[in-house]
Every structure is written in C-alpha cells, then in structure tokens.
C-alpha cells in the first residue's frame, strides 16, 4: 500500500480526527479511504447519468404525447411492482 501525506488547515484536521474517532473508523486513514471510495462511486454514477442524458438527447424528439409517455411510464412502474 502506498503512503500519501496531505496538509490540512487546523479546522479540517480537527473535523477529520473527530469523524475518524466516532467509532465507525479505526483511524484517520480508514476515514479518508472511505471518503475516496465514496467519491469514486459518485463519479461512476455521474458518468452513467451523463451517458443516459446524452442517449436521451441523441434519441431525438418523440412523436408521443406527454400523456402517452406518462401512461407508459405508469404501466411500466406498476409492472415492476409499484402501487397504482
């Protein structure tokens, strides 16, 4: 495992130490690793959202009315277990 040193203002250092000491993490390194993993997950989700948005843009304008779109979405949701 590689080592990395960072500099933090006193306020951030105190916050990190407080978070690491709340019993959820063994130490500051565990807390920072958790933050980085969460950011990695968020970045992957953001990339997927951007891909889906672009897919929607690329698909063009629908010839369906807004009522047809909502009806289809409602039917799909019910088919997937949502309550009507």
- pLDDT tens for the chain, residues 1 to 84: 899 999 999 999 999 999 999 999 999 999 999 999 999 999 999 999 999 999 999 999 999 999 999 999 999 999 999 887
Determine the pLDDT at residue 21. Answer: 92
> Could you tell me if residue 55 is inside a domain?
yes
Is 20 among the domain residues?
yes
Query: Does residue 84 sit within a domain?
Result: no
Host domain of residue 30:
10-79
Instruction: State residue 84's pLDDT score.
Output: 73
Determine the pLDDT at residue 56. 94
Q: What is the pLDDT of residue 1?
A: 87
The answer for 7, left when phi > 0, alpha when psi is -120 to 50, beta otherwise, is beta
The pLDDT assigned to 77 comes to 95
Domain count, the chain: 1
């Amino acid at each position: 495992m590689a080592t990395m040193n960072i500099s933090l203002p006193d306020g951030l250092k105190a916050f990190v130490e407080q978070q690491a000491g709340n019993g959820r993490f063994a130490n500051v390194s565990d807390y920072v690793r958790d933050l980085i993993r969460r950011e990695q997950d968020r970045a992957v989700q953001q990339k997927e959202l951007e891909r889906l948005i672009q897919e929607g843009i690329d698909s063009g304008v629908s010839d369906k009315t807004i009522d047809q779109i909502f009806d289809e979405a409602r039917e799909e949701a019910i088919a997937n277990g949502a309550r009507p």
